Amino acid sequence: MNSEKQFLENLAHLRERIKSACDRCHRPVDEVELMAVTKTHPVQAARWAVAAGLERIGENRVQEAAQKRPQMAGPAGLWELIGPLQSNKARLALETVDRIQTVDRLKLVRVLDRLCGELGRDAFPVLLQVNVGEDPAKHGCRADEADRLVDAIRHSGHLKLEGLMTIGELTDDEKRIRATFARLRNLRDRLEHEWEIPLPVLSMGMTDDLELAIEEGSTLIRVGTALFGSR
């Protein structure tokens, strides 16, 4: 992991990238939130991020978040799960993080809803992870499954759907990457209209494709390497 000085320099450069992308597509820069992804890095990375004003911390594994978060001294920020969630880790996730971005199947919706009831959690925020490119190597529901999951979350007693999440195509073809993000935005727009619900969060874009994601409407980019260096 980089030094704190290098982290701060990287953060300044990253904010310039975000601003430039927003300027190109005529979006206010405050429409795009930056999440610090601290997976496999020591808890010090999360401390630096929160101290620098990055409110959201992303972790891929529930167990890692549960181990790190109690070690935060002072403000802890908002922790989010951005990796796949097994049903048997759902209780630990609800006890550890502030939002789950990777809800992608009916069974998980039902398990989370039941556990929220047992834990006394109401309106627990979730995002629907959609594999819009239908890449078999990625997690997420298919786009044609989204309505059924939206319906299940809306009729749950304890979950609140705040938006959608996806991972861009792993390719050097910018047109294909952009198309992936555009499909998620279009899906979000349709779901908002047909279900008459606000879905303000579009979580898409990482270190290598954040400009394309912002230009296609991302409201939350998830960045680790560009902030903290290689793992």
Q: What pLDDT score does 201 carry? A: 98
- Round to whole Å and give the CA distance between 200 and 202: 7
pLDDT tens for each residue of 148-172? 999 999 999 999 999 999 998 888 8
In whole angstroms, what separates CA 212 from the centre of its chain?
A: 16
Which phi-psi region, left, alpha or beta, contains residue 62 (left: φ > 0; alpha: ψ -120 to 50)? Answer: alpha
How is domain 4-228 classified at the architecture level of CATH?
Alpha-Beta Barrel (3.20)
Q: What pLDDT score does 150 carry? A: 98
- Are 107 and 87 in contact by the 8 Å Cβ rule? The answer is yes
User: Region 19-26: what's the mean pLDDT?
Assistant: 97
Fill in the DSSP letter of residue 24: H
**pTM of structure:** 0.96
Is the pLDDT at 38 greater than 90, yes or no? yes
- Round to whole Å and give the CA distance between 35 and 147: 27
- Round to whole Å and give the CA distance between 202 and 184: 8
Strand partners, 75: none
Closest residue by Cα to residue 216 from 164, 170, 172:
164
Q: What pLDDT score does 172 carry? A: 85
- Round to whole Å and give the CA distance between 65 and 119: 19
In whole angstroms, what separates CA 201 from the centre of its chain?
A: 9
Tokens of 24: 């190109």
The lowest-confidence range among 66-75, 155-164, 199-208 is 66-75
Residue 221 CA: distances (Å) to CA of 64, 113, 213? 21, 27, 8
Q: What pLDDT score does 157 carry? A: 92
